[in-house]
Amino acid sequence: MFCPRRLEGEDSVSSLWSFGPSSVETEKQKGLETLNVPGLEQKLPLQRRWTPAVNELFFCRWLNYSELGELPPRSPLEPVCEDGPFGPVPEERKRTSRELRELWRKAILQQILLLRMEKENQKLQGVPRHHRGEIWKFLAEQFHLKHPFPSKQQPKDVPYKGLLKQLTSQQHAILIDLGRTFPTHPYFSAQLGAGQLSLYNILKAYSLLDQEVGYCQGLSFVAGILLLHMSEEEAFKMLKFLMFDMGLRKQYRPDMIILQIQMYQLSRLLHDYHRDLYNHLEEHEIGPSLYAAPWFLTVFASQFPLGFVARVFDMIFLQGSEVIFKVALSLLGSHKPLILQHENLETIVDFIKNTLPNLGLVQMEKTINQVFEMDIAKQLQAYEVEYHVLQEELIDSSPLSDNQRMDKLEKTNSSLRKQNLDLLEQLQVANSKIQSLEATVEKLLTSESKLKQAVLALELERSALLQEAEELRGQAAGPSRLQPGCVQPQPAGD
């Protein structure tokens, strides 16, 4: 019988073994040559064709753990060697007290290091604010390394400065939304200040880069969040990454079909996870589109605190766009008792839009932790397929009977008549307003002409007065001048 012995001073796995006069590599090659299991030659790597017993004998007890890096603390005592395939293995050499102390010292140091890291993570409370932009860029680079082949929807690599030199048809819409984007934030509050100009450049460049989407309401908030954490050109690159690589672009298309699918997916998630809340909202005819559409289009930036939105962006860069579903589901679930207390449509929608976004630190941490615990990727895929199936069933549904068709047409006709009457009334009101405004305009034009005439008369009067004043100055200065050689006559005495 023989027992493997560790050779002193060797680091590689191949030099850790000794079988008497022969090395383990020779025995390993013999074992691989003689082992022949049909059907496994093409499926398993060569080293996995060993029997479990041989594998345990040669590898389980003698792995070189130094190649694995830092490991969590474990007992320094070696497990008892079981009998190998060649018979009982002799008992290993007992470690000295010095070796055991050294092993325990390493284990204690590793445990101290782990405790310090946990305390440091609690102090940091997420990604440091001043490094957030760099971390987002790093996560984007890691995504590109994992997915080296770009998608078919990737745009052409046009330089950012080249896009800024072009003109866009979306300029008016972008300028209107600049003042609505973070109006209370110091960086964006100044009209056409540095923040608004940078935001305009990013949105203009993207509208030129992606002609299909162009500009859509909500993009300004996404670009604004990026602009708060990095430079203008880097924010444009990260916007491209979120839109094309993270898949946010689909929800901004003009047809908005993907947004409808997302609303259906969120409704199904509520149905599966919070049935009572789903029933309460359905009872009052409140669909996700009434409150959740801004969450998706602005990634929560239009209603929630910037600190919370930045952490949502952290998770999107890390996990993808499904984070938006997780956050929405967590927010609605955590506020479910308060939502159930409201009993009409107006108060429920007002609570979700105005009260719910005012998150405290405890609620924010709870939401973030719940998001990391969720896994809804398969459910979202199933719900999307379900939506398409339902749409096909609606299209292919059986035709209505004549009576049903007539009833439907009559209802449609009556509703159209009502709408027509409402529109006529609105038209009359608008016409009266137009007439009053036209009369006002005429009065203003008349006043303007009169004022112009008065101004002209005043200008003529002013010029005449200036000329008269000039003449008077000349007359006053004339007698005081004396001719050379002339003597003034003396007055005659009495």
Could you report the per-residue pLDDT of 8-25, keeping only the tens digit for each? 444 433 333 343 444 434
Q: Are 294 and 302 in contact (CB under 8 A)?
A: yes
Co-location of 236 and 199 in the same domain: yes
Position 58 pLDDT exceeds 70:
no
Q: Which range marks the domain in which residue 239 is found?
A: 132-252
Co-location of 266 and 240 in the same domain: no
The pTM of this model reads: 0.59
Query: Can you give the pLDDT at residue 411?
Result: 85
| Average of per-residue pLDDT across 40-52 | 40
> Which CATH number is 277's domain given?
1.10.472.80
Query: Can you give the pLDDT at residue 178?
Result: 93
Other Cβ atoms within 10 Å of 190 Cβ, number = 11
Query: Can you give the pLDDT at residue 88?
Result: 56
Q: State which of 205, 220, 252 marks the end of a domain.
A: 252
Residue 210 lies in a domain: yes
Residue 340 lies in a domain: yes
Co-location of 263 and 390 in the same domain: yes
Q: How confident is the model at residue 448 (pLDDT cuts 50, 70, 90)?
A: very high
**Total residues belonging to the chain:** 494
* 277 alpha-carbon distance from chain centroid: 27
Query: Can you give the pLDDT at residue 484?
Result: 52
What value, to the nearest 5°, has the Cα angle with vertex 200 and ends 198 and 204? Answer: 120
> What tokens does 85 get?
């395939």
| Average of per-residue pLDDT across 452-464 | 93
| Average of per-residue pLDDT across 31-35 | 39
Distance CA 307, CA 319 (A): 19
> What tokens does 434 get?
């137009």
Position 90 pLDDT exceeds 60:
no
| Average of per-residue pLDDT across 454-474 | 92
- Mean pLDDT check: name the lowest of 87-96, 144-153, 229-238: 87-96
Q: How confident is the model at residue 119 (pLDDT cuts 50, 70, 90)?
A: confident
> Which CATH number is 166's domain given?
1.10.8.270
Residue 49 lies in a domain: no
The mean of the pLDDT values for the chain is 80
Structural domain total, the chain: 2
Q: How confident is the model at residue 81 (pLDDT cuts 50, 70, 90)?
A: very low
Residue 75 lies in a domain: no
Sign of CA dihedral 175, 180, 181, 186: positive
Nearest to 170 by CA among 200, 145, 198, 137: 200
| Average of per-residue pLDDT across 122-128 | 69
Does 212 or 359 have the greater pLDDT score? 212
